[in-house]
Structure 1
Amino acid sequence: MASRLKSKLEDSQFAKYALLVASMFCAAMVIGDGVLTPCISGVYKLINKASWFPSETVVGISIVILIGLFAAQRLGTERVGSCFAPVMCVWFAINGGIGLYNLLKYDPSVVRALDPRYIVRYFSRNGKEAWISLGGVVLATTGSEAMFADVGHFSVRAVQLSMCVVVYPALVLAYLGQVAFLTKNPHLVADAFFKSIPGTLYWPVFVVAILASVIASQALISGTFSIVQQSHSMGCFPPVTIVHTSSKSPGQIYVPEVNWLLMVACVAVTVGFQTTAGICNAYGMAVVMVMVITTSFLVLIMVMIWKVNLLLVVSFVATIGTTELAYLTSVLYKFPQGGYLPLTFAGVLMLIMYTWSDVQRRRHHYELHHRISPDEDSIGAGATTHQSLSRLPGIAVFHSDGDPAPLHGIPPVFKHYVANIPALHSVVVLVSIRTVHVARVRVEERMTFSRVGPPEMRMYRCVARYGYEDGRRRSGESGHVAFEEMLVKVLMEFVRANAMGLELVEEIEVIQRAWDDGVVHLIGEYEMIAGEGSGFWKRLLVDWGYSLLGKIVWRRSGPRVFDLPCSRTVRVGMTYQL
Structure 2
Amino acid sequence: MLVWNYGSKLRYETEVKQKLSMDLMRELGPNLGTIRAPGIGLLYNELVKGIPAIFGHFLTTLPAIHSMIIFVCIKYVPVPVVPQGERFLFRRVCPKGYHIFRCIARYGYKDSRKENQQAFEQLLIESLEKFIRREAQERSLESDGDGDGDSDYEDDSSSTRVLIAPNGSVYSLGVPLLTEYIDTSKHISEASTSEEANPGTPGDPTSSDAEQSLERELSFVRMAKESGVVYLLGHGNIRARKDSWFIKKLVINYFYAFLRKNCRRGTANLSVPHSHLMQVGMTYMV
TM-score norm. by structure 1 comes to 0.35
Show the 5 A alignment for 1:18-33: none
Give per-residue Cα distances to partners, 1:390-446, cap 9 Å, x unaligned.
10111101112xx3xx11211111111111114221111111112222222122111
2:265 is matched with which residue?
556
1:370 is matched with which residue?
18
Give per-residue Cα distances to partners, 1:174-200, cap 9 Å, x unaligned.
xxxxxxxxxxxxxxxxxxxxxxxxxxx
- 2:11/2:237 contact within 8 Å kept: no
In structure 1, runs of 5+ residues without a counterpart are: 1-236, 238-352
2:8 is matched with which residue?
360
Query: In the aligned structure 2, how far is the partner of 1:543 from the partner of 1:415?
Result: 25
Greater Rg by CA = 1
| Equivalent position to 1:426, from 49, 67, 70 | 67
Output the amino acid matched with 1:423: A
CA shift, 1:494, in A, is 0.9
CA shift, 1:471, in A, is 4.3
CA pair 447-393 structure 1, distance change in 2 beyond 3 A? same
Asked whether 1:495 is paired with 2:138, we answer no
Query: In the aligned structure 2, how far is the partner of 1:569 from the partner of 1:426?
Result: 17
CA pair 449-519 structure 1, distance change in 2 beyond 3 A? same
3-state SS of the aligned residue for 1:429? strand
Asked whether 1:522 is paired with 2:232, we answer yes
1:393 is matched with which residue?
38
| Equivalent position to 2:217, from 479, 490, 507 | 507
CA pair 378-541 structure 1, distance change in 2 beyond 3 A? farther
2:76 is matched with which residue?
435
Query: In the aligned structure 1, how far is the partner of 2:226 from the partner of 2:132?
Result: 18
CA pair 568-416 structure 1, distance change in 2 beyond 3 A? same
Query: In the aligned structure 2, how far is the partner of 1:467 from the partner of 1:360?
Result: 21
Show the 5 A alignment for 1:532-551: 532-551=242-261
Query: In the aligned structure 2, how far is the partner of 1:376 from the partner of 1:396?
Result: 20
Output the amino acid matched with 2:25: D
- 2:41/2:229 contact within 8 Å kept: yes
1:461 is matched with which residue?
102
- 2:71/2:102 contact within 8 Å kept: yes
Query: In the aligned structure 1, how far is the partner of 2:230 from the partner of 2:27?
Result: 19
Number of residue pairs aligned between Structure 1 and Structure 2: 212
CA shift, 1:376, in A, is 6.2
- 1:399/1:431 contact within 8 Å kept: yes
2:119 is matched with which residue?
482
CA pair 387-560 structure 1, distance change in 2 beyond 3 A? closer
Moved over 6 A (4+): none
The structure carrying a bigger strand percent of its residues is 2
CA shift, 1:548, in A, is 2.5
Query: In the aligned structure 2, how far is the partner of 1:514 from the partner of 1:501?
Result: 20
| Equivalent position to 1:567, from 275, 282, 285 | 275
Output the amino acid matched with 1:574: M
CA shift, 1:387, in A, is 8.7
TM-score norm. by structure 2 comes to 0.68
1:57 is matched with which residue?
none
- 2:42/2:71 contact within 8 Å kept: yes
Query: In the aligned structure 1, how far is the partner of 2:87 from the partner of 2:122?
Result: 13
| Equivalent position to 2:50, from 409, 415, 437 | 409
Structure with greater contact order relative to length (CA < 8 Å, sep ≥ 6): 2
Output the amino acid matched with 1:391: R
CA shift, 1:464, in A, is 1.1
Query: In the aligned structure 2, how far is the partner of 1:369 from the partner of 1:507?
Result: 33
1:163 is matched with which residue?
none
3-state SS of the aligned residue for 1:468? coil
Show the 5 A alignment for 1:26-425: 237=1, 353=2, 355-374=3-22, 377=25, 380=28, 388-400=33-45, 403=46, 406-425=47-66
Query: In the aligned structure 1, how far is the partner of 2:6 from the partner of 2:110?
Result: 31
1:110 is matched with which residue?
none
- 2:25/2:32 contact within 8 Å kept: no
CA shift, 1:568, in A, is 0.4
Sequence identity (%): 33
3-state SS of the aligned residue for 2:36? strand
CA shift, 1:375, in A, is 5.6
Query: In the aligned structure 2, how far is the partner of 1:442 from the partner of 1:544?
Result: 40
Give per-residue Cα distances to partners, 1:33-81, cap 9 Å, x unaligned.
xxxxxxxxxxxxxxxxxxxxxxxxxxxxxxxxxxxxxxxxxxxxxxxxx
Query: In the aligned structure 2, how far is the partner of 1:537 from the partner of 1:424?
Result: 41
1:451 is matched with which residue?
92
Asked whether 1:576 is paired with 2:284, we answer yes
Output the amino acid matched with 1:366: T
Query: In the aligned structure 1, how far is the partner of 2:282 from the partner of 2:247?
Result: 23
Query: In the aligned structure 2, how far is the partner of 1:569 from the partner of 1:468?
Result: 26
3-state SS of the aligned residue for 2:282? strand
CA shift, 1:573, in A, is 0.6
Give per-residue Cα distances to partners, 1:452-489, cap 9 Å, x unaligned.
1111010000111122333457xxxx611111000100
Output the amino acid matched with 2:131: F
3-state SS of the aligned residue for 2:48? helix
CA pair 463-506 structure 1, distance change in 2 beyond 3 A? same
- 1:524/1:572 contact within 8 Å kept: yes
Query: In the aligned structure 2, how far is the partner of 1:361 from the partner of 1:376?
Result: 26
Q: What is the CA RMSD across the aligned residues, in angstroms?
A: 2.3
